[in-house]
Amino acid sequence: MGNTRKIALLGQPNSGKSTVFNMLTGMHQHVGNWPGKTVEKKEGTFTYQDITYTVADLPGSYSLSANSDEEIVTRDYVAGADLDLVCVLADASQLERSLYMLADYAGIQTPVMLVLTMMDVAESKGKKIDIQKLSDKLGINVCSIVAYDKKTYDAFFEHLQSAIATGKTLKAEALYENIRRSEAAEAFEKYVEKAKAIASQRRPQEWIAMKILEEDEAILRELAIKGEKDISVDPKGALYTSDARFTWIEALLEEAVVNEKKASELLTKFDRIAIGPRSGKWVAFGIMILALAGAMIVAAPMMAVGGLLPGLLNPLVDLLAGAGVSEGIIHFIKATLVTSLGWVVSMVGFIFAMNFVFGILEEAGYMARVSYVFDGAMSKLGLQGKALMPMIMGFGCTMGSTSGARVIDSYGQKVMTIAVAWAIPCGATFVVIPTLANAFFGTGGGMLVMLLILLVMIVHVIITANIFGNTLNPVEKRSGMVMEMPPYHKPRWGFIFKNSLMRMWDVFKKAFSIELIVCIIFFFLSYSKAGIEGSILYKIGSFIEPVSAFVGLKWQTFMSFFAAMVSKEAVLGVLSAIFANSGSVVDTTTGLAATSDNIAQIVAAAIPKAEALAFIIAVTFNIPCLQAVVSTYHETHSLKWTARIGAYYILTALILAAIVYHIASLFF
């Protein structure tokens, strides 16, 4: 075994699992995907008393049933032969429900310990928990921590070492006795025999038999491969197993948990409003607007620093001329290194703000209410209620949507939320596009153009959800939401701030290199001493103009469409460089050259209205910006999905432009 150990954190959503993972591993963590699965894999390391622990933060789920890829990945991992210990985390303030994961784990022969979180909340609700009594009944180590408070982790480390040393597994005999006393007893015994075909040292026959009773598709497929194909399953089997588990939990908590305060079944006055079928939606929208405004305020200082960096650093770069560095190299450094650094600093400022704001809402317990209120509406798109808040944030900045999608428990639905959120025009779009719309079509016509954009956005969201949902969240795998309403409690400001800083630094490390590479590529595509016509981008645009003209974009508007993938604000600058000779495409895109004051009027006189409308639609629904792409890659941890989403939006933007252009040509 040496000086390394391998452990896993297992628990339901809102159990404090991710908080414990972050507190244990700090900066020593990485995120990717499980091989062959669209499921997020978080791993990290920490060292305690010269022993290095590798920690897997398993996907949050309510059970170990095969209802999703997350649950299949989780249960395969916890039964793995190379795992030293599983730490099951449970919310101490609502043990009756949060221990269901432990009850579903019972029977698996991987060493386990129970970690009770939110003990401070439990105590505030008048609950006294006898940890030793729980430990005796379960036959394993049990400890309690306050997840965000590192001072409470001493007992955790002691129990961790003891649990690994003793290798204690969970006593499950009482659970099996509950089944044997039920109407499913005969079927259970029959399934125990059939389970021999696929049982293993860590996944015994009785545990498998429980899954057969539940008509677990993955288990039934395994049995079919071994020749056990015709297994008749009682449709009430899942009810028998869940009753057996809740009975087991009830017996477990008897005498171990004492409620000193009389429990009230009444909702608080605020909760009656917050989860009301109508009032809840208005409350949520109000909080979303406040959250977006709050994020903007929190992000403003760092975004301002990012905006000021080029002005501060470019004069320093100019000093290189005195050292004999050529003007061309100095220009290159300004347009790539300095520009990308300024953009990334602005970007991580917004990422920090979004994590901070969402962290407050999550920690306070409100995000679960948003899921509850909007789950019915969002389920029509194949998403869960939590997806609405990051999507609304997209009206401010698409980076907010991608970063905010981290609250989605399912990896597939998180990627799907990001893909759908890209269809929502961001704040920068609503600055640039109205300027062009009013210049081309007047105030009244401009308002109609904005109305058209909103209608296209709604259709785009629906279509995108269906297209990506077929892969990321297939209809046949969708099920109703099962969730707990966590109690409200004060946000842990220090933890939220520290966690937001960690995520900000993680994004910065990955984003800077990506943005720099893209800026360098764009520099060489756009740069030319011979004017715009000498650039590679112009040659590409003019070469494909016979094709792009079909969708309504000539080489000038196509170049601007391409630049919009880097930054929506670059659109006016590139148009200025092309039509008003205000600078090179590189300089206007990166901010090294100013945009002509009357560029909207200049292009309005140069571009036909049908092409203008197609261009406006194409730019609006194009890739939001380079920062959104980088943020998407960071959140999905998948180059494949980032590329798919990007290619999808380029293609659909051009298709929409073509439709609009050919219809508009009939009238203009």
Domain 4-173 in this protein, CATH class: alpha beta
Query: Tens digits of per-residue pLDDT, 367-399?
Result: 777 777 877 778 888 887 778 878 887 887 888
Query: Tens digits of per-residue pLDDT, 514-556?
Result: 778 877 887 888 777 777 778 888 888 888 888 889 999 998 8
Question: How does 468-487 read in b/e, with b if 16+ C-beta sit within 10 Å?
Answer: bbeebbeeeeeeeeebbbbb
Model confidence band, residue 303 (pLDDT cutoffs 50, 70, 90): confident
Query: Tens digits of per-residue pLDDT, 338-367?
Result: 888 887 888 788 778 878 888 888 777 777
Residue whose tokens read 């659970």 = 175
Average pLDDT of the segment spanning 195-224:
88
Model confidence band, residue 62 (pLDDT cutoffs 50, 70, 90): confident
Mean pLDDT, all residues of the chain? 84
CA–CA distance, 521 with 324 (Å, rounded to integer): 25
**How does strand 112-117 pair with strand 257-259?**
unpaired
Residues 6+ apart with CB under 8 A from 473: 382, 383, 410, 412, 413, 416
| Residue 28 scores a pLDDT above 80 | no
Query: Tens digits of per-residue pLDDT, 395-444?
Result: 878 887 888 787 777 788 889 999 999 999 987 788 788 888 888 888 88
- Cβ pair 381, 461 in contact under 8 A: yes
CA–CA distance, 163 with 143 (Å, rounded to integer): 11
What confidence score (pLDDT) does residue 480 get? 52
| Residue 64 scores a pLDDT above 60 | yes
Query: Tens digits of per-residue pLDDT, 108-145?
Result: 999 999 999 888 777 777 788 899 999 999 999 999 98
| Residue 51 scores a pLDDT above 50 | yes
What confidence score (pLDDT) does residue 118 get? 82
| Residue 663 scores a pLDDT above 90 | yes
User: Per-domain residue ranges for the chain?
Assistant: 4-173, 182-246, 498-664
- Greater confidence (599 vs 63) lies with 63
Q: What is the total residue count of the chain? A: 668
DSSP letters of 426-439?
-TTHHHHHHHHHHH
CA–CA distance, 502 with 82 (Å, rounded to integer): 30
| Residue 334 scores a pLDDT above 90 | no
Query: Tens digits of per-residue pLDDT, 154-194?
Result: 999 999 999 999 999 988 899 999 999 998 888 899 988 98
Question: What percent of the chain clears pLDDT 90, i.e. is strictly above it?
Answer: 23
What confidence score (pLDDT) does residue 266 get? 40
What confidence score (pLDDT) does residue 166 get? 93
Query: Tens digits of per-residue pLDDT, 583-614?
Result: 677 777 776 666 666 666 777 788 899 999 99
